[in-house]
Structure 1
Amino acid sequence: MSAKRNGFSLIEVMVSLVILTIGLVGIFNLHIVAKRGSFESFQQTQASYYANDIINRMRMNRSELINYQGSYSGTTSAPAKACDVNVGGNSICTSVETRVWDLYQWERMFQGDSEQSSGTNVGGLDSSVACIDINGRDVTVVMTWRGVRASSDGLSEASSFAKSCGTSNDRRRALVIETAII
């Protein structure tokens, strides 16, 4: 009489658990890589928005164009006069006051002042520095920030002006926009 065994042996169960564990670890690592890539993409989108924002502000205030030039890291203090668009029309600003207000608001945006958690800025770009170069009507805006993981310097192949914006390291990311304001 032959004895038939039904079911799985302990060794078969252990082997299947090892295979399942290896698969789950792979899926978990894939999820982490996807999250990092998504965050890097989000940062690039944010930088593009901030660069285009200051370009549009300069277009609206062409008489002060040359005075927008400089390097900005979020240290500008609040101006004496706020020049937001006002429905009541209470505040009319000169072009100089508008430029100072534009730069102040722009710095506050890319430093993340509009999104806070427990008093800490959580919006904006990480360790961001922005630089504006103006040559006649040609404008170059460089946004730099710190990326999530080390790769290569984001400006290793860029112009000398762009390279001078921010601190050079293997986590620096950058966005350079060149345009003309006519």
Structure 2
Amino acid sequence: MLAKRNGFSLIEVMVSLVILTVGLIGVFNLHIISKQGSYESFQQTQASYFANDIINRMRMNRSELTNYQGSYSGTTSAPAKACDVIVGGNSTCSSVETRLWDLYQWERMFQGDNEKSSGTNVGGLDSSVACVDINGRDVTVVMTWRGVRASSDGLSEGSTFAKNCGTSSDRRRALVIETAII
């Protein structure tokens, strides 16, 4: 009579381990790609917030609307007067002082000055540039930043104004908002 053998052979165990390893590597790669996608989505949300922030600031200071036009990359120096809104009272700043303060604060936000780790900015957008174009009451705000992975240029099919905002590259991401301030 032949003896009946139960259990697994060493070869079966090795094949099972190889299959398990290949599957786990795939799961880990999927996790990395999903984290990159999540971060790209977070950057897009931040860019939308920053663009809407400056639009709201312009709405609050309509008399200086045309003077908000320009290209901003975090180089604006602090104005002589801080014009934060005083709780329970009015600000004592002129509309020009308010515009200068608005632009300074806005640049600090999208450059990440509000979040620091060991003295280094960790918030905001990576290598960000913002451009504002005013044509009468029509306002175009373009936010550009450097994405995590290479793809196509975020403004390869944009308007001439938008294309000139930031540096063209395969990692440039962009958000363009067009609105009217009445």
* Secondary structure in 2 matching 1:140: strand
- Letter of the 1:33 partner, please give it: I
- Percent of residue pairs bearing the same amino acid type: 88
Identify the residue that residue 27 of structure 1 maps to in structure 2: 27
**How far, CA to CA, are the matches of 1:123 and 1:47 in structure 2?**
12
Pair 1:58–1:91, CA change in 2 (3 A): closer
**How far, CA to CA, are the matches of 1:52 and 1:121 in structure 2?**
22
Identify the residue that residue 39 of structure 2 maps to in structure 1: 39
- Letter of the 1:19 partner, please give it: I
Identify the residue that residue 157 of structure 2 maps to in structure 1: 157
Q: Write out per-residue CA displacement over residues 61-80 of structure 1, whole angstroms, 9 at most, x where no aligned residue.
A: 00000000000000111111
Identify the residue that residue 6 of structure 2 maps to in structure 1: 6
Question: Which runs of no fewer than 5 residues in structure 2 stay unpaired?
Answer: none
Identify the residue that residue 114 of structure 1 maps to in structure 2: 114
Identify the residue that residue 73 of structure 2 maps to in structure 1: 73
**How far, CA to CA, are the matches of 1:90 and 1:175 in structure 2?**
34
- By how many angstroms is 1:86 displaced? 1.3
Identify the residue that residue 15 of structure 2 maps to in structure 1: 15
* Secondary structure in 1 matching 2:59: helix
- By how many angstroms is 1:88 displaced? 6.2
- By how many angstroms is 1:87 displaced? 2.3
After the TM superposition, list the runs of 4 or more consecutive aligned residues in structure 1 that deviate by more than 2 angstroms: 87-91
**How far, CA to CA, are the matches of 1:24 and 1:124 in structure 2?**
34
- By how many angstroms is 1:90 displaced? 8.0
What is the RMSD computed on CA atoms of the aligned residues?
Answer: 1.0
Q: TM-score, normalised by structure 1?
A: 0.98
The number of residues matched between the two structures is 182
